[in-house]
Amino acid sequence: MLPLAAIERVARKAGVERISREALEELRNIVEEIAQELASEAAELAKHAKRKTIRAEDIKLAAGKV
């Protein structure tokens, strides 16, 4: 689970001045869901390439698919 403080920093960098705790929690849930989908797709790409290690290129390719 990602810390709320990290999610808040991301929101602030995006220009958000104020954000409720509920909004932070919902954003965290969505970010975690997207990250899990990316990791799963990247794992499939690595497996297809007969590798056990996920590389940055796998993440980039997975991001293009999701």
Provide the 10 A C-beta neighbour count for residue 42: 22
pLDDT (0 to 100) of residue 65? 79
| pLDDT in the model for residue 8 | 97
At 26 the pLDDT is 98
- Ranges of the chain whose pLDDT falls below 70: 66
Tokens in use for 16? 């958000």
Q: Give the separation between CA 42 and CA 52, rounded to whole angstroms.
A: 11
What residue type is assigned to position 20 of the chain?
S
Q: Which among 62, 6, 5, 3 has a CA at the least distance from the CA of 35?
A: 62
3-state secondary structure of 33: helix
Give, as one character, the DSSP assignment of residue 49: T
